[in-house]
Structure 1
Amino acid sequence: MSEDITQLKMCELRAKGFMEEIDRRSAKPTVVCGKCGAKADRPEHLHNPRPLSNKKLDSYWG
């Protein structure tokens, strides 16, 4: 019997140890969870999705 993991959120996947699935769902993250801080490609993979802010360059020239 294999468990259906398609409906699980990122924090549930982490709790159950599905690290490979977490890697697949966060290859190019666009959102971050306001609850647990997990990053994901799509908002439906998180409980409390927030837009991932763009990184600001830490440089005098950028």
Structure 2
Amino acid sequence: MDDADRAGIEQARLENAFLAKRTTLTPSRPSATDCIDCGDEIPVKRREYVPGVQLCVECQTLKERQ
């Protein structure tokens, strides 16, 4: 096993941990139907996958990059 294999295993472990955490979170508020930053509609699939979501994908991405 080389460094690339170990890095791949670690990346998979982190992704699995992230997904496990996401599925156990209880939203503190209901999902918004429209993004609180830009006002665009948040797709139903996103609202189902991310309980309590308040931002559209684009606004969430911008927020995470800041």
Q: TM-score, normalised by structure 1?
A: 0.26
- From the two aligned structures, give the one with the greater strand fraction: 1
More helix by share: 2
Which structure has the bigger radius of gyration? 2
